Amino acid sequence: MNTPDNSPAFDRLFEAVASRGPVCVGLDTTVEYLPPRVRESYASPAEAILAYNSALIEATADYAACFKVQIAYYEELGLAGLRAYAETLRLVRSKGIVVIADIKRGDIADTASRYARAHLEGEFEADCVTLNPYMGLDSIEPWLAVAERRGKGLFALVRTSNPGMRDFEALELAKGGHVYDEVAQRVAGLSDRGRGRHGYGALGAVLGCTERQEAASLRQRLRGVFVLIPGYGAQGGAAEDAALLLDRHDGLGNGGVVNASRSILKAWSAAGLDPALTGLEEAAEAARAAACTMRDDLAAACAPGGAAK
Amino acid sequence: MNTPDNSPAFDRLFEAVASRGPVCVGLDTTVEYLPPRVRESYASPAEAILAYNSALIEATADYAACFKVQIAYYEELGLAGLRAYAETLRLVRSKGIVVIADIKRGDIADTASRYARAHLEGEFEADCVTLNPYMGLDSIEPWLAVAERRGKGLFALVRTSNPGMRDFEALELAKGGHVYDEVAQRVAGLSDRGRGRHGYGALGAVLGCTERQEAASLRQRLRGVFVLIPGYGAQGGAAEDAALLLDRHDGLGNGGVVNASRSILKAWSAAGLDPALTGLEEAAEAARAAACTMRDDLAAACAPGGAAK
């Protein structure tokens, strides 16, 4: 177990991206994504999921800047699932790798402080979390206080990659711009809070990569804001779209990570492996290859002369 | 244990309000709210909280339409806390009383379905949950499907009672109205889904009671939408404000419940009881008296000729 590192999470993440590329492996793990043989060799879904996560973390760590764990997949399994969730966070952190808890919590005042203590320290401690800003800055502020103190990172939802994003996030405002522009501006306005040596504040943003123009223009206004980019792979986003949302540092994309979940978790299936014959090792190897390809695609799209200019 | 009732949750809640009034007792329980003597007589915070909840549920049930459990207070204590959370939900439901899980989850598609399964069935099963609509209707829809099937109720955040509500919820839109007006309209537009015999759909709304005019005008447009009204008591809302947000049925307020948490959980303190001498029974008795007073104040405010006209 590495000693805990209280330096700003986005400094650690920046350095991980610089050395291993911007892939974020999403551990949105359900037994439905596991090869039947693997699924059947464990006594419970939670045990199978934990074993699968463990194998995939080992297999993809060379090509991943970080991991993201979607808590809904674990809450679904009740207390046993949440035990596997906590253990997954510990596995990633024990390798000195940043783990993002995709929890999208959003609540105010005292409640927000309690959520912050729940997810930035203690049994469910992660390095970064995702937050929902709907209720306003007083739902972010208590998290920021804990994040600054403990070297954690936060990603507030700004513009997501789902179709329903049009319903409220993209509403046009009387003063111009959209709801997400206002959220972006308020997030950027807090970028001096907990700013690390690579220039990013403790409050980051979730920025979907499904509409190029719009998302890229938003990125311009999110200076000093580290971004989490969902929507890659299974959700339809391409390397070029994601590359537009990364800053350029020494000809490489940085200042953000690009998440893929299903395309890595189910890489064994996309690779055409026989469901009846695929074991943990083969599934992990397929995940490793998928992460490697994704890293290479993103590097090509970010390179000078690459698809994203 | 009563047999499970799959009739629409808002029918059951309507009938509870008609017979016991619209008080929703919020079990946002932390050991900090407990008299020291009670706190110290349990081996762990989670055990103390569960014992306190159990005593308060018994003591206030005569004056409460329902209970609301804020999950952040339990997540804060990790797995032991979540065990106490699950047990608290079970305690309320075993009395045939509706329990609202205040979880404010908001995520899309497959993730939303998993959250819905986590909180509307299984180990963490509640009768109703609160949801965050920021990501759009595709973050609500999967919940609605489960809610219709299992007789559950949902409360989407529309307009909350915290100061930060001004940051995003209250932004003015180019087409007129505010963000929360648009959310209200979309919620009302779904009120035919899972509609029960008392006329309320399975999708309800959270509507803060801190600004009378605004909230009352919103209520008018939320026809057929059951509301959860926070902000009473410790958060500054008064009975008259809350009464404005209830529909009138036979001269009584209904179509909504009014939550109070701290003013009931810490009633022993507000009543001037000696912290060093107050035991579980005295704290529960003070909570009972506070719930009774709140019910009476709301009834007076709702009555013809009452403060809220």
Separation CA A298–CA A62 (nearest Å): 15
Taking the Cβ of residue B112 and every Cβ of chain A, the question of whether any pair is shorter than 8 Å is answered with yes
User: CA A250, CA B113: separation in Å to the nearest integer?
Assistant: 42
pLDDT at B309: 45
pLDDT at A179 over 70: yes
Number of other CB atoms surrounding residue B276 within 10 Å: 8
Is residue A305's pLDDT more than 80? no
**pLDDT tens for each residue of B100-120:** 999 999 999 899 999 999 999
Per the prediction, chain A carries an average pLDDT of 93
- What pLDDT was estimated at residue B189? 97
Residue among A109, A139, A162 whose CB faces B136 most closely: A162
**Amino acid letter at A296?**
D
Q: Do B72 and A179 touch (CB under 8 A)?
A: no
- Option in B107, B134, B175 nearest A72 (CB): B107
For the record, the structure tokens of A158 come out as 């700004």
Section A20-32 average pLDDT: 97
pLDDT value of position B308? 53
Which residues 237-296 of A are in CB contact (within 8 Å) with B? none
Among candidates A169, A155, A162, which has minimal Cα distance to A209? A162
d(CA B120, CA B104): 13
Does the beta-carbon distance from A108 to B182 stay under 8 Å? no
Do B111 and A70 count as a contact with CB atoms less than 8 A apart? yes
Contact A83 B83 (CB under 8 A): no
DSSP string, B148-192: HHHT-EEEEEEE-SSGGGGTTTTPBBTTSSBHHHHHHHHHHTTTT
Nearest residue on chain B to A73, judged by CA atoms?
Answer: B114
Q: For A77-118, what is each residue's pLDDT tens digit?
A: 999 999 999 999 999 999 999 999 999 999 998 999 999 999
Instruction: Give the model's confidence band at A156: pLDDT under 50 very low, under 70 low, under 90 confident, else very high.
Output: very high
Residue of B nearest to A77 (CA): B118
- The string of DSSP codes covering A45-111 is HHHHHHHHHHHHHHHHGGG-SEEEEETHHHHTTHHHHHHHHHHHHHHHHHTT-EEEEEEEE---HHH
> Which positions in chain A touch B83 (Cβ < 8 Å)?
79
pLDDT of residue A181: 95
Residue A222 scores a pLDDT above 70 = yes
pLDDT in tens, B235-255: 666 898 888 899 877 778 899
Task: Judge: A75–B169 Cβ closer than 8 Å, yes or no.
Answer: no
Shortest alpha-carbon distance between residue A305 and chain B (Å): 35
- Judge whether B234 is closer than 8 Å to chain A, CB to CB: no
Reply yes or no on whether the pLDDT at B58 is more than 80. Answer: yes
| Interchain CB contact of B75 with A (< 8 Å) | yes
Tell me: domain B9-302, CATH 3.40.190.80, correct? no
* Mean pLDDT of the region B61-67: 98
B164 → closest Cβ in A132, A139, A157: A139
Residue % of chain A over a pLDDT of 90: 83
Cβ–Cβ below 8 Å for B123 and A163: no
Q: Collect all residues of chain B within an 8 Å Cβ-Cβ radius of residue A30.
A: 114
Give A2's pLDDT tier (boundaries 50, 70, 90). Answer: very low
For B172, the closest of A123, A139, A174 (CB atoms) is A174
Task: Tell me how far apart the alpha carbons of residues A190 and A254 are, in angstroms, rounded to a whole number.
Answer: 20
Confidence at residue B248, expressed as pLDDT on a 0 to 100 scale = 79
- In this predicted model, what pLDDT tens digit does every residue of A261-300 receive, in sequence order? 999 999 999 999 999 999 999 999 999 999 999 999 999 9
Selecting from A108, A136, A163 the residue whose C-beta is nearest the C-beta of B138 gives A163
Nearest chain A CA: its distance from B201 CA (Å) = 20
* Nearest CA-CA distance, residue B121 and chain A, Å: 9
pTM over the 0.90 mark: yes
Cross-chain residue pair B167–A137, CB shorter than 8 Å? yes
Tell me the average pLDDT across A130-141: 97
pLDDT for res B216: 79
R_g of chain A, CA atoms, integer Å = 18
Residue B1 pLDDT exceeds 50 = no
pLDDT of residue A125: 98
Point out the residues of B that are catalytic.
Answer: 104
Helix, strand, coil: what percent of chain B each, to 5? 50, 15, 35
pLDDT at B307: 56
Helical pair A280-302 and A45-60, crossing angle rounded to 10 deg: 50
pLDDT for res B234: 64
Beta bridge partners of A247: A254
Would you say B107 and A148 are in contact if contact means Cβ atoms under 8 Å apart? no
Q: Which tens digits make up the pLDDT trace of B132-149?
A: 999 999 999 999 999 999
ipTM value, please give it: 0.95
What is the per-residue pLDDT for A235? 62
- Positions of A annotated as catalytic residues are 104
Q: Which residue of B27, B121, B132, B166 is the best one to mutate when testing the A interface, meaning the one whose CB has the most A CBs within 10 A?
A: B132
- For chain B, what are the domain ranges? 9-302
Residue A89's nearest CA partner among A29, A12, A15 is A29
Residue contact B135–A172, C-beta within 8 A: no
* Residue at B188: amino acid letter: A
Torsion of CA A290, A291, A293, A296, to 10 degrees: 170
Is residue A32 over pLDDT 50?
A: yes
Q: Which residues in chain A (162-191) have CB-CB distances under 8 A to chain B? A: 162-169, 171-175, 179, 182-183, 186
Instruction: Evaluate if residue B225 carries a pLDDT over 50.
Output: yes
Measured between CA atoms, the residue of chain B closest to residue A109 is B162
Distance from the Cα of B174 to chain A's closest Cα (Å) equals 4
What's chain B's average pLDDT? 93
CA torsion sign for A143, A148, A150, A154 is positive
What was the pLDDT predicted at B104? 98
pLDDT at res. A286: 98
